[in-house]
């Protein structure tokens, strides 16, 4: 039986029974986890405590899904895919990491031949945003290129945004609706990115209520999000 059919059969099970079957299959599932009617065609699944995956989401050919505590795929119609045709022996092929307390709403598309990392308490909001980690060259010899996308802690991504391969945004970044992110902004925090291509339109005060209050329900403190040089360096090695 192929992997898709197995994933489809598992998807039809009630959440508690589904989690039991996934554990028997060798996946790591924490406490108080809910998984709706979603197809999880994934080699390795790691779901920490209090994770939620709502119904009608589709994961295809992913290598590793990691969702940290209190993270959620709270909407429906999200597609997470990693085409085997784009496999270039890159270490992060098909790897998606969603940080603690982060949430993805609905109808977004994640192309994951390269790695995608989403930090803590970040919201992929609205709908119809796309995240591409794969492209090709137009040279004489067409070359597949897979580059990761990194999104920092406590960010907000509006509707209809697009992230291109190799892009990154630092913590406390607000990305306005319809923006096309084409560069690495990892060294900038507390900013508004907007436009096509996205540019820094505004610098926010650290006392902004959006950053201080919006994610209080997760019990985070501002100190939890201090981005030191070491953490930046770790992410830069990925990109």
Q: Mean pLDDT for the chain?
A: 88
pLDDT band at 3 (very low <50, low <70, confident <90, very high): confident
Q: What's the whole-number mean pLDDT along residues 4-26?
A: 96
- Under a CB-based contact definition with an 8 Å cutoff, are residues 48 and 29 in contact? no
Residue by residue, what is the 3-state secondary structure of 33-69? CEECCCEEEEEEEEECCCCEECCCCEEEEEEEEEECC
Q: What is the number of structural domains in the chain?
A: 1
pLDDT digits (tens, 9 = 90+) for 81-104: 997 765 656 678 899 999 999 999
Give the start-end residues of each E strand in 123-169. Answer: 123-127, 130-132, 134-136, 144-146, 149-151, 156-157, 162-163, 168-169
pLDDT tens for each residue of 149-200:
999 999 999 999 999 999 999 999 999 999 999 999 999 999 999 999 999 9
Does the structure show a pLDDT above 60 at 239?
A: no
Of the pLDDT bands very low, low, confident and very high (cuts 50, 70, 90), residue 70 is: very high
The structure's pTM equals 0.88
Q: Domain with 211 in it: what CATH number?
A: 2.160.10.10
Domain containing residue 225: 3-238
Per-residue pLDDT, 232: 42
pLDDT at position 88 is 57
Q: Rounded to the nearest 5°, which phi and psi values hold at 62?
A: -75, 150
């Amino acid at each position: 039986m192929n992997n898709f059919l197995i994933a489809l059969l598992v998807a039809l099970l009630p959440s508690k029974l589904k989690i039991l079957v996934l554990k028997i299959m060798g996946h790591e599932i924490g406490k108080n986890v809910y998984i709706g009617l979603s197809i999880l065609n994934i080699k390795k699944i790691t779901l920490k405590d209090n994770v939620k995956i709502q119904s009608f989401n589709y994961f295809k050919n992913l290598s590793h899904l990691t969702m940290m505590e209190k993270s959620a795929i709270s909407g429906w119609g999200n597609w997470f895919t990693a085409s085997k045709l784009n496999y270039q022996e890159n270490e992060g092929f098909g790897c998606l990491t969603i940080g603690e307390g982060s949430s993805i709403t609905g109808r977004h598309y994640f192309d994951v031949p390269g790695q995608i990392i989403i930090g803590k308490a970040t919201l992929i909001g609205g709908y119809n945003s796309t995240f591409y980690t794969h492209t090709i060259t137009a040279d004489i010899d067409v070359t597949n290129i897979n580059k990761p996308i990194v999104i920092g802690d406590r960010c907000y991504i509006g509707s209809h945004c697009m992230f291109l391969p190799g892009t990154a945004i630092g913590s406390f970044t607000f990305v306005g609706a319809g923006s096309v992110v084409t560069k690495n902004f990892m060294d900038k925090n507390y900013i508004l990115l907007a436009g096509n291509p996205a540019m820094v339109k505004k610098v926010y005060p650290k006392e902004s209520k959006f950053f201080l209050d919006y994610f209080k329900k997760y019990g985070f403190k501002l100190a939890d999000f201090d981005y030191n040089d070491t953490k930046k360096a770790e992410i830069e090695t990925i990109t």
